[in-house]
Structure 1
Amino acid sequence: MPTASSWPSFDIPTVDLWNFMFESPRDCGFPEDKVIYRSLDDTKRYTYAEVKATAKAFGNTLLDGWNWQKGDVLCVFSPNDVDYALIVHGTLYAGGIIAPANPGYGAKDLAFMLKNSGARVIVTQKALLSVAVEAAELAGLSKGNVVLLGGDESHSPEATHFKQLLKPDQQRERPCKIEGKDLAFLAYSSGTTGLPKGVMLTHTNIIANVLQVKHSVGHNYSWDKDKILGILPFFHIYGLTTLLNQPLHRGLEVVVMPQFNLDAFCTAVQRHKTTFLYVAPPVIVQLSRGPNVHKYDLSSLRMLTSGAAPLTKELVSFVHRKFDIKVNQAYGLSETSPMTHTLPWEEWWSSVGSVGKLFPNMTAMYVSEDGKEVQAGETGELWVKGPNVFKGYWRNEEATKNAITPEGFFKTGDVGFQGKDHNFYITDRMKELIKWNGFQLEGLLLDSPLVSDVAVIGVHSEEQHTELPRAYIVPVEGHKPSEKLGQEIGAWLDERVAYYKKLRGGVRFVDEIPKSPAGKILRRILKGLAEEEGKKEKRQAKL
C-alpha cells in the first residue's frame, strides 16, 4: 500500500497564482512595504506593493500592446535579476504562461524552445540580446516581440526595456478567468537523455508546493528575521518556486545573485547577513574547501537546504563543525514543482543520507521492474502522487503516458528505498543503473582531499563484457591532472570499497562536471565523451 505523508494534510486554495499572491490575506501579516527582492549591489529593490503594482502594469502592457490572450506563452531568457518576478507575475496576471529559458542557451537551442512552446514574446537582458534576436528570427518572431529587463534601461535600437512600455494601473477587471487547473509554467527539462521536454505546471501545482514547504518546514524561518541569498537559477523550477514564489508569499527577502561565484557568494552573505540558502551539492563542496572562505564573516548563515544529489555524512559534519550551519537534504524534480521530500530540521543530523520525509498531501511508493510495489527496505523506482505533480509533457502525449500512471502516480526514474523511520532514500537513476552504485561512489570521492568535484559513469569493457565504473574528476586547486594523481585517488578509494566498486574503468580529469541548472549531473555528456575516448584509443591501438 502506498505510503502517505506523515505530515498533516491541508486545504489547497482553488485560485490562480495572482489571486493567491496578491488578492488573498498575506501570510503572517507582513507589511506591504516589506522588501522582497534586492539586487546584489543593493542599487535596486522591490517591496511587496511595488512587485504587485509593476507586475500588474506589465500585464496591462501585454494585454494592450500584444492583444494578449489566455494561454499565450512568454519566454524569459535571462540570468537571475530583481526584475524577473515582475515579468513572471505580470504575465500570469494577463493569463499567460511563462517558459523560462536557460541563459546559457545558444540561438539554436533557444529557437527550439521558442518554436516548441509557441512563445509570442521573449524577455531578455542586453548582454543576451544578440542571441535572443537570432533565436527569435529562427523561430519566426519579429524583433518587436523581444523585450528587455535588467538594470540597463538605456535605449537600444533592437529592443525596448519593459519599464518604458508599462501601462499605468488601469481600473478594469482582468479580461479572463484563470483557474487553478490552467497552465502557469512550461519548465523545460534539462534534457539529460535527449531533447528538452516542456513540463506543464499548473497554478495549483505551484501553489501546492509553496504551501507544502510552509506546512512541513516553513515554521523554521520568518519574514521579520530571515533573509535568503538567491543563488539557484530562476529559470529552473527549483529556483522559481523557492526563490521567486515562496518568498513572495511568505514575505521573505531574497538577495538576488545573477550567477554563483564563491568569493561573491561569501561577500554577499557577509554584507547582507543572509540566514538561509537553497543550494546544490557543488556549492557545499566549494564552501567546505574554498581557500579564502575563512576571510569572510558567514556567522549569519544558520541553514542550508541541498537538493539534486545525495550528501555524505562526512561533508555535512564538516560544514557544521566549520561554520555552525545546519544542512538538510531535499528532493524533487521539475515534474513535481519541484519538491516532494525534505528532512525535518529536527532530524537534520540523525537522518543524513536520506532525502527526508514525503511532503504533506502526497503518497509515494517504490516499485519493482515488473511494476509491483516493494516493501520498506527493498529497492525500487520511486513513484509519487500529489497536487504538485505536473499535468504532463507539452505536446507529447506518448511521454506523458509513459511517465504518469492511470492512477496519477508519476514515475520519477529515481531508484531507492524507504527506511523504517519513514525517511526516503535515493540511490541511483533507473536509466543509469549498473552493478555498482554511482551515487555512493561520488559521495565517497567527494570526501577525498584531492577531489573538488566528480561524476561516476559506467563504461563498457569488451574484455569483461560489462560496465566498469569510471570517475571524471575535477582536482582540487593546486593539484595538476596526471597519471600519478589518478592513481593516488584510485588507491584512496580502494581502501574504502569492495573490489567491484573500484574504479576499474579508470580516472579521467576534466575542467568541470557537466550539470543541469539544478545541479544534476548530465551523464549523457560524459557517456558521449567516454565513447569518443574509446574510439580514439581503438584508433591508436591499430597504429
Structure 2
Amino acid sequence: MPVESPYPSFEVPDIDIWTFLFENNNREYPDDKVIYIDSVTKRSYSYAQVKETAITFGTGLKALFSWRKGDVLALYTPNSIDTPAVTWGTHWAGGVLSPANPGYTAEELAYQLKDSGAKALITQLPFLTTARQAARMVGLGDDRIILIGDQRDPTGAIKHFTSIRNISGATRYRRTKVKEPKEDLAFLVYSSGTTGKPKGVMLTHGNIVANIMMIAVTEGTNVSWKGGQDGKGDKILAFLPFFHIYGLTCLIHLALHHGTTLVVMAKFDIESWCRIVQDFKITFCYVVPPVVLLLSKHPVGENYDLSSIRMMNSGAAPLTKEVVGAVYDRLKLKVKQGYGLSETSPTTHTQSWDDWDNHVGSVGKLLPLQTAKYMSPEEKEVPVGETGELWIRGPNVFKGYLNNPEGTRNALTDDGFFKTGDVGHQDAEGNFYITDRVKELIKYKGFQVAPAELEGLLTSNPAVNDAAVVGIYKEEQATEVPIAFIVPAQGIERTPEAAQKIISWLEKRVANHKRLRGGVKFVDEIPKAASGKILRRLLRTQVEQEMQALLAKDTVIKAKL
C-alpha cells in the first residue's frame, strides 16, 4: 500500500501566492521587520518595503509592456535582495517568473527565453553582454532588458528596475488576480532531461502555497521571527541559488512566510560564509554536501565563531554518517538532510531537528499531504525495505512540462503520481532513503547535467567521432563530475594535449557546472544497445573499477576545479 505522511493533514487554501503572503491576516511579525539583507552592502528590505516595491514594479510592467496574465519574465542573475520584489511584482501583474542559471552561455539562455516565450529579461550589469546576445537571438530588444542590483548601465540604454517602478499615472493600474491558483502558473523553472534539452517545469500558485505550508510543519516550528541572541529572530544564510526552485521556495518564500531574516550571498566561498555566520549570528542554513565536506576539512572554519548556528539542512545528494559526524566533532555544527525535486516545488521529505544524528543517510520522513510508493521496473509496488523507483503524489506536484506533452505523460500517471526517477527504499520506521537514479542525469553540486546535451556538443567537434558522458563520484569534492569517453577522429592522437583541447573547447560552450571535471578518456568505441542507446552503466562501472589507474594515466586529463 502507498505510504501516507506521518504528519497531521490540513487544508491548503485555494489562493495565489500574493494573497497567501501579502493579504495574510494571521501574520505575527510587524511591517518593519527586516526580511532580506545583502551580506556585503547591508542594503535591506523590510516586509513593507518588499511589498511596496513589488507593487510598483508590477505596475511598471503593466504600464511599459502592457503586461498580461501569463506573460513570462525571465531572470538571469546571481542572488540579489531585489529578486523577491521582482518575483512578486511579476505575480502582481499576472505574470510568470522563469529563472535561468547566470552561468548559462548566450545560446543556453536563448533556448530558455524562446521555449518559455519570455516577454522581458532581468539581469545585472556584469551579465549584460551575454543577456543582450541571448535576447537578440530571440528578438528581444534592449528595451526589454531590465537591470537589478546596485550597478546601473553607464550608457543609460538599459533601464534599471527602479526606473521601471517610477511610472507616472500608475495609480490607474490594479493587480491582476489569479482566478485558478491550482492551474495558473507562478514559475517556469528549467530542469535538464536525459534528452539533452532542459525542460520547463510548470509550477502553479497552488503548488508553491502547498509546499510552503508543508515545509512550515517542520521548519516553521523551529525558526522564529523573534528571540535569538539579539532578540531579532532567526537569521538564515542564503547562498544557494535563487534561480533554482530550492532557493525560490525554501529561502525567498519561507523567509517572508516565517518572518525570518535572509542574509543573501551572491556567490559562495568558504571564508566569506564563515565570516557572515559570525558577523550576522546566522542560526540556520540550507547547504549542499560539498559545503558540508568543506566544513569538515577546511582549516578556515576554526578561525571563526560559528556557534550561533542551531541547524543546517543539506540536500541534493546523500551525506554519510562519517561526514555528518566529522562536522559535528570539529565545529559542533548539526546537519540534517532532506529531499525534493523541481517537479515537487521542491521539498517532499526532511529529517526532523531532533533526529539529525539518527538514520544518517536517510532523507527523513514524507512531508504532509503526500502519498509515496516505491515501484519495480514492472511498475509494481515493492514492500517496505525493498528497492524501487520513488513515486510521489500531492498538491505540490507540478502541472507538467511546458511544450512537452510526451515528457509529461512519461512523468505523471493518470492518478497523479510523479515518477521521480530516483531509486531507494523506506525502512520500517517510515524513513526514506535515496540510493541511485533511474535517470542518467549527473548531479554536480546540486546542478543537473544532462549527458546527452554534452554528447551532442562533443560530437560536433571535428576531432571527435563519437562520445559518451557519465558521472563519476569524487569523494574529495563530495559530488559527481562529468567524464567524457571519446572516440577520436582519424588523425587525432590520443595525447593529454588533445584531451585538454577538447575540454577547453567544451568549456567555451557550456555553463560552468557542465564542464568535464572528470576529464577525457579516449576509447575505440562507445558501447551501445541494438537500439542505439548508449550503455552508460557499463562505462560508469568501468570508471569505478579503473578509477585509481585512470587518474594515473595520461589519457585522463583533470580539468581545473
TM score, norm. by length of structure 1: 0.81
Asked whether the 8 Å contact 1:458–1:505 carries over to 2, the reply is: no
Within a 5 Å distance, the mapping from 1:459-538 to structure 2 comes to 503-507=544-548
Q: CA deviation at 1:170?
A: 2.7
In structure 2, the partner of 1:179 is: 180
- Whole-angstrom CA distance in 1 between matches of 2:267 and 2:194: 22
In structure 1, the partner of 2:110 is: 111
In structure 1, the partner of 2:18 is: 18
Asked whether the 8 Å contact 2:472–2:544 carries over to 1, the reply is: no
Secondary structure, in 3 states, of the residue corresponding to 1:105? coil
Q: CA deviation at 1:508?
A: 7.8
Asked whether the 8 Å contact 1:95–1:178 carries over to 2, the reply is: no
Q: CA deviation at 1:192?
A: 5.9
2:310 is aligned with what amino acid?
R
- Whole-angstrom CA distance in 2 between matches of 1:157 and 1:509: 53
Query: Against the structure 1 CA distance between its residues 43 and 145, is the aligned structure 2 distance closer, same or farther, given a 3 Å change threshold?
Result: same
Asked whether the 8 Å contact 1:144–1:159 carries over to 2, the reply is: yes
Secondary structure, in 3 states, of the residue corresponding to 2:545? coil
Deviations 1:294-348 (A, max 9, x none): 1111111111000000000011111112222221110000000001000111211
2:55 is aligned with what amino acid?
K
Within a 5 Å distance, the mapping from 1:145-156 to structure 2 comes to 145-153=144-152, 155-156=154-155
Query: Against the structure 1 CA distance between its residues 459 and 121, is the aligned structure 2 distance closer, same or farther, given a 3 Å change threshold?
Result: closer
- Whole-angstrom CA distance in 2 between matches of 1:429 and 1:68: 41
Q: CA deviation at 1:509?
A: 8.5
In structure 2, the partner of 1:218 is: 220
Secondary structure, in 3 states, of the residue corresponding to 1:292? helix
Deviations 1:50-100 (A, max 9, x none): 000000000000111100000000001000001011110000000000000
- Whole-angstrom CA distance in 1 between matches of 2:555 and 2:337: 35
Q: CA deviation at 1:507?
A: 3.4
Q: 2:366 aligns with which of 341, 351, 358?
A: 358
Asked whether the 8 Å contact 2:282–2:308 carries over to 1, the reply is: yes
For the pair 1:372 / 2:380, whether they are aligned, the reply is yes
- Whole-angstrom CA distance in 2 between matches of 1:218 and 1:509: 48
Secondary structure, in 3 states, of the residue corresponding to 1:122? strand
Secondary structure, in 3 states, of the residue corresponding to 1:305? strand
Within a 5 Å distance, the mapping from 1:75-94 to structure 2 comes to 75-94=74-93
Query: Against the structure 1 CA distance between its residues 153 and 341, is the aligned structure 2 distance closer, same or farther, given a 3 Å change threshold?
Result: same
In structure 2, the partner of 1:60 is: 59
In structure 2, the partner of 1:468 is: none
Query: Against the structure 1 CA distance between its residues 193 and 306, is the aligned structure 2 distance closer, same or farther, given a 3 Å change threshold?
Result: farther
1:34 is aligned with what amino acid?
K
- Whole-angstrom CA distance in 2 between matches of 1:135 and 1:172: 31
Secondary structure, in 3 states, of the residue corresponding to 1:431? coil
Q: Give the percent of matched residue pairs that are identical in Structure 1 and Structure 2.
A: 49
For the pair 1:48 / 2:56, whether they are aligned, the reply is no
Deviations 1:432-472 (A, max 9, x none): 59xxxxxxxx99973xxxx3445388999xxxxxxxxxxxx
Query: Against the structure 1 CA distance between its residues 509 and 213, is the aligned structure 2 distance closer, same or farther, given a 3 Å change threshold?
Result: farther
**Once superposed, which parts of structure 1, at least 4 consecutive aligned residues long, lie more than 6 Å away?**
442-445, 456-460
For the pair 1:139 / 2:164, whether they are aligned, the reply is no
- Whole-angstrom CA distance in 2 between matches of 1:26 and 1:232: 29
Deviations 1:143-193 (A, max 9, x none): 100000001146443311010121467375424444312100001014465
Moved more, 155-164 or 293-302: 155-164
Secondary structure, in 3 states, of the residue corresponding to 2:429? coil
Within a 5 Å distance, the mapping from 1:282-431 to structure 2 comes to 282-431=290-439
Asked whether the 8 Å contact 2:207–2:396 carries over to 1, the reply is: yes
- Whole-angstrom CA distance in 2 between matches of 1:123 and 1:273: 32
In structure 1, the partner of 2:34 is: 35
Q: CA deviation at 1:350?
A: 1.4
1:341 is aligned with what amino acid?
H
Query: Against the structure 1 CA distance between its residues 152 and 284, is the aligned structure 2 distance closer, same or farther, given a 3 Å change threshold?
Result: same
- Whole-angstrom CA distance in 1 between matches of 2:473 and 2:141: 51
Asked whether the 8 Å contact 1:69–1:95 carries over to 2, the reply is: yes
- Whole-angstrom CA distance in 2 between matches of 1:279 and 1:227: 14
1:400 is aligned with what amino acid?
T
2:130 is aligned with what amino acid?
V
- Whole-angstrom CA distance in 2 between matches of 1:178 and 1:167: 28
1:507 is aligned with what amino acid?
Q
Asked whether the 8 Å contact 2:392–2:417 carries over to 1, the reply is: yes
For the pair 1:455 / 2:480, whether they are aligned, the reply is yes
Query: Against the structure 1 CA distance between its residues 456 and 378, is the aligned structure 2 distance closer, same or farther, given a 3 Å change threshold?
Result: farther
1:207 is aligned with what amino acid?
V
Q: CA deviation at 1:25?
A: 1.9
- Whole-angstrom CA distance in 2 between matches of 1:258 and 1:23: 30
Asked whether the 8 Å contact 2:302–2:331 carries over to 1, the reply is: no
- Whole-angstrom CA distance in 2 between matches of 1:329 and 1:459: 31
Moved more, 156-165 or 29-38: 156-165
Unpaired runs of at least 5, structure 2: 227-232, 442-470, 486-517, 519-540
Secondary structure, in 3 states, of the residue corresponding to 1:353? coil
1:212 is aligned with what amino acid?
M
2:289 is aligned with what amino acid?
P
2:18 is aligned with what amino acid?
W
- Whole-angstrom CA distance in 1 between matches of 2:172 and 2:47: 20
2:52 is aligned with what amino acid?
A
- Whole-angstrom CA distance in 1 between matches of 2:285 and 2:300: 20
In structure 1, the partner of 2:504 is: none
Deviations 1:462-498 (A, max 9, x none): xxxxxxxxxxxxxxxxxxx9xxxxxxxxxxxxxxxxx
Asked whether the 8 Å contact 2:75–2:122 carries over to 1, the reply is: yes
Q: CA deviation at 1:26?
A: 4.5
- Whole-angstrom CA distance in 1 between matches of 2:479 and 2:235: 31
Deviations 1:352-407 (A, max 9, x none): 11110001000000000001000000100000000000000001000000000001
Asked whether the 8 Å contact 1:302–1:324 carries over to 2, the reply is: no
Query: Against the structure 1 CA distance between its residues 368 and 143, is the aligned structure 2 distance closer, same or farther, given a 3 Å change threshold?
Result: same
1:363 is aligned with what amino acid?
T
Q: CA deviation at 1:421?
A: 0.6
Unpaired runs of at least 5, structure 1: 434-441, 461-480, 482-499, 511-529, 537-543
In structure 1, the partner of 2:489 is: none
Asked whether the 8 Å contact 2:472–2:480 carries over to 1, the reply is: no
In structure 2, the partner of 1:5 is: 5
2:396 is aligned with what amino acid?
N
In structure 1, the partner of 2:190 is: 188
2:414 is aligned with what amino acid?
P
Considering only aligned residues, what root-mean-square deviation do their CA atoms show, in Å? 2.7
Asked whether the 8 Å contact 2:74–2:113 carries over to 1, the reply is: yes
- Whole-angstrom CA distance in 2 between matches of 1:112 and 1:212: 33
Secondary structure, in 3 states, of the residue corresponding to 1:413? strand
1:124 is aligned with what amino acid?
T
Deviations 1:26-68 (A, max 9, x none): 43x0111000100012431000000000000000001111000
Query: Against the structure 1 CA distance between its residues 408 and 291, is the aligned structure 2 distance closer, same or farther, given a 3 Å change threshold?
Result: same
Moved more, 410-419 or 288-297: 288-297
TM score, norm. by length of structure 2: 0.79
